[in-house]
Amino acid sequence: MNYAITLLSLVLMAAAGNVRAAVTELNSSGGTSATNGLHFYLEDTSKLQVRRLNNTGQVYLPTATPPSTSLDNGIFLRADGALYGPSHAVGGTFNPGAMYDTFSITAASPANPAIDGIPQAANQVLGVNAGPQINIQWRYTRPYDFITLNVTLTIPAGYAVSAANPVKYYHVVDTYLGGSDSGCGLTFVDSSGKRIVGTYPPPSGNNCPSSSSIPAGVSIVESFRERNGAFSHYCTDTWNTFYDNAAPWSACALKSNIALSDSVSATYRDTGVGIEYDFTAAGTYTFSYDFVIGSPTLPPYDHVEIRHDGSGSLCAENVTVLGCLSSIVPCPAGSEVTGALSGTFTPSGGTPSVTWTPASFNIAAGQLQTSASFLASAPGGTITLGAVGFSTNPLNGVKCWNTATSTASCTFVVANAPCVAGFECIESGVTYNNLVLTPTARNPLYTKPTATNFKFDVVALQSNGAIANAYTATQNVTVELFDDSAAPQPACSAYVNPVASQSITFAASDAGRKTLPNNFSLNKAYRKLRCRVTDSNTSPTVRGCSSDVFTVRPQAFTVTSSNANADNAGASATATPALKAGANFALIARTGVAGYDTTPKIDAARLEWLNVPEGGRASPGTGTVSGVFPIAVPSPSLPAVATDSVATGSAFTYDEVGYFRFQASGVYDDIFTVDSGDQANGDCTNDFSSSPVSGKYGCKFGNTIATNHFGRFIPDHFDTAVTQGCATGGFSYSGQPFRVTTTAMNLAGGITLNYDADAPGGINVYSKAATLSAWNAAGTTANPGPGTLTNNAIAALLFRSGVANTANPPTMASPLYTFTSLKTPPTIVKLRAIDAEGISSLRASPLPTIEGSTEIRSGRLRLQNAYGSELLDLPVPLEAQYWVGNYYASNTADNCTIIPASSIVMNNYVNNLSACETQLSPVGNLVFSGGKPISPGLKLTKPGSGNAGSVNLAVNISAAPTGKTCVGASESNATAANIPWFGANPASRATFGIYKTPIIYMRENY
């Protein structure tokens, strides 16, 4: 800008009486050297002047300060067709629009003079009536060469704003580059992804080496730098083009209705710089940017952070100090400064005064933080924590974090309290951890069994978590244990009704930590106990509750039954009581102490089966106990003050026969120590240990010795199945043996494998002799029809793994049912098993009865006469039949009868037929299918001589063979077919040379 225009502007401004005095200064004593930063003048209408080094201005006019109208810079707002902003000397009026309707700025805070590393701020308001409102925090940290603007722009609901009619926020500066009014434009994106838009004086001459990077030798870049939120548009050009009052507009004109051109001047000129933010809808928007007079490189870190707990006593209070790259408080992990950093703590600035130890902090290279402590001179009052004199100045000075309230506050309250703020309880011999400094650490208390002596240590604490090693208490301090299982847990002072207590004193030699003088021993179980220590000798009373809770668990379970206790001394295959396998029985688990209120469990791997003495065999080795215990409750049989906890389950089942018992820990608990965290924290061992290992007992407990046996269990019922005498036909002939399988079952229908006989010694262990009986198809009438079941005994020794099979047919020792009268229609017979203890295959409704059955048929063999040519083999009709009610019918279901050809008797040869001149064919067995021998059936071979004649045939049905037969060329003794259920031997006559029909057999020649 030229000086003639400036002088005219000053004259006009004075004549109009338009001199304003609402100006705030930041760093009022700065700007005079390279070490004391910049000196800012901020006007309430947003104009500014910046001085540095030679104490002349860096924005035009360099000799002027606000409210001079010759300072052509400021924040402008285009809103609903109007342009608002501060007064200026170029470009005429802004109408419609003109000045902001409201504008103000606050004084600097903290007040001048500024201190290195401590940010100063001033808050500005710029507003348009019924329109947008701008709130700006100008923030400067000495000695840096930039100021930050944190902007909040509010566009009210209903205001005329859209994509076609945006609200535009501008900031424009007429630059003066360290004594030069001209420079080169540039823009680039830095390594942090932030855009820089500005101008610089060339290193020499009037040439502009680059518009996209800072040339070597350039130390001043007057620029805008993005911080939070990107520029919508930007421009660098000749200074007065931003204020063009009429078309044709320049690319940087604020009054045009187009955006700044996103261009920079690449040639040397009298420069100005502008940025633009666009908003297209009502709402509240926040963004921030820097105005830089110097290097656009950001400081190396954001702030120094002091962490504290906000309040304490007259004890020394610890703080943690670190440098942080992030602006977030508390500093995110990984954002700590790792280079060397030091500084000096500031005094509190009031009463009480504080003494720091050490007075300065020093974070060595590679370290993340350091610690220090301060001591207040007197109780009461609030002090402010701070630091100055940093080896490297932060961008945003000192920030603090109150770890107790999780707030960003640098104030600390000193309470009128003695040098003990609380107490901790911790296992003896365990290193104490300061949970204030390390909240994730632990001071454990371990699980304890009931009726077991135990002690722990009491630690006196300062408010910063350190041990109050100078604490003494010659009068009694009370140590109490409280049940902490209720939710939510009360405040430490609100616990009532301790379960145990004792007193302790502290001497100076204890150095703030002392082991209890007496043992605790509790005869009641507790899932969660908390320790509280109270010193009521102080004013006010000091209390401290343990950071950890612990479990007092029962020693063991005692397991009995109300209806299945076996007498071990007499336990045998016949002892009482006798319970059905799979039926419900009771198990009772007792702890012998009150307070246990969870659920015992059963470990199937710790089940043991009884080896009955008279058996002389190994334990059966199978069987499962099913069912669950309920939650234990105080014993109902005890007086009002319970001394036992009992879990009684009445729906347990055992799926086998015989006896079982639980080995040690077969009934156990593994969750009683969960609620206290003892299991998760390793404050008990993952076992059943009843003796301490490094002070720790087992997390679990159970029965400590093997229980008495439970039983005797017997089968619930038998199932029977029949393998038919004619298995492939689905029936049995009267008098024909069939096979019966009897299976000992539990209530659920599983086989009781322990219902077995001792094979090596032939001695019955659990199985019993049973008897089969015949019933009608409905199972309601015994021994149906005119018949008798024989061979119906099942010896106990037949049972193997719960299953007994009678002898396989055709062994006549197998069961068979025989009609009294041969001419009896088919009858279905059901087989029922029952043993001496009344175990039966018949079950009460609605339980299913599974009993095998067979259809008994009265059968016979019919061997018919045969006639045929002496020149051909002669078929002999043979058929199995059964009585259907009034006649014999072909038994087409007979697919099982086998008759040896050798059991067919041949005799009484007549005419010209001699013995074995004709022979039986086939020579092996006649196998029946559909009631008849399968093809080719029974035949006699044609006589060898061609002689006619006849022979008598009969089948030896019984087991007593008689007569001769021809199954070859010579006679042999006939055998027995051994199928007595067919009754009498059938007989017929076979004749060669006689024909049943008038057909003459002739040989024809062709």
Residue-wise pLDDT tens digits, 73-84: 999 999 998 999
Specify the higher pLDDT residue, 235 or 91.
Answer: 235
Helices and strands, counts by H and E, the chain: 1, 76
- Specify the amino acid at residue 646: V
pLDDT band for position 259 (50/70/90)? Answer: very high
Answer for the pair 782, 775: CB distance below 8 angstroms, yes or no.
yes
* Residues 6+ away with beta carbon under 8 Å from 817: 732, 734, 735, 774, 787, 788, 789, 790, 829, 854, 856
Residue 498's Cβ-count burial label (10 Å; 0-12, 13-18, 19+) is middle
* Residues 6+ away with beta carbon under 8 Å from 997: none
What end-to-end distance do the CA atoms of the chain give, in Å?
Answer: 146
Write the secondary structure of 886-908 as one string of H (helix), E (strand) and C (coil). CCEEECCCCCCCEEEHHHEEEEE
Q: Residue 431 has which token pair?
A: 């290193």
DSSP string, 353-385: -EEEESSEEEE-TT---EEEEEEESSSSSEEE-
What is the C-alpha R_g of the chain? 56
Strand pairing report for 816-819 and 757-758: unpaired
Query: pLDDT tens digit string along 526-569?
Result: 999 999 999 998 778 999 999 999 999 999 999 999 999 876 54
* Residues 6+ away with beta carbon under 8 Å from 514: 457, 458, 504, 506
Query: pLDDT tens digit string along 82-140?
Result: 999 987 755 544 444 578 999 999 999 999 999 888 889 999 999 999 999 999 999 99
Please, what sign has the CA dihedral across residues 953, 957, 963, 965?
A: positive
Q: What gap in Å lies between CA 896 and CA 878, rounded to an integer?
A: 15
pLDDT band for position 221 (50/70/90)? Answer: very high
Q: Which of 247, 249, 27 is nearest to 139 (CA)?
A: 27
Write the secondary structure of 300-346 as one string of H (helix), E (strand) and C (coil). CCCEEEEEECCEECCCCEEEEEEEECCCCCCCCCCCECCCCEEEEEC
Q: Is the pLDDT of residue 944 over 90?
A: no
Answer for the pair 245, 291: CB distance below 8 angstroms, yes or no.
no
Q: What gap in Å lies between CA 474 and CA 501, rounded to an integer?
A: 18
Give pLDDT, residue 707: 87
Phi, psi of 198 (to 5 degrees): -175, -160
Q: What gap in Å lies between CA 491 and CA 484, rounded to an integer?
A: 11
Q: Residue 3 has which token pair?
A: 């000086």
Q: What is the pTM of this model?
A: 0.56
Q: What gap in Å lies between CA 122 and CA 114, rounded to an integer?
A: 13
Strand pairing report for 354-357 and 645-654: unpaired
Phi, psi of 104 (to 5 degrees): -160, 165
Give pLDDT, residue 760: 46
Q: What gap in Å lies between CA 183 and CA 206, rounded to an integer?
A: 8
Give the mean pLDDT of the chain. Answer: 89
Q: What gap in Å lies between CA 757 and CA 742, rounded to an integer?
A: 14
Q: Which of 515, 670, 647, 660 is nearest to 591 (CA)?
A: 647
DSSP string, 383-395: EE--EE--SS--S
pLDDT band for position 8 (50/70/90)? Answer: very low
Q: Which of 748, 405, 433, 337 is nearest to 581 (CA)?
A: 748
Q: Which of 244-248, 279-283, 319-323, 812-816 has the lowest mean pLDDT?
A: 244-248
Q: What gap in Å lies between CA 37 and CA 39, rounded to an integer?
A: 7
Looking up tokens 């102080």, which residue turns up?
538
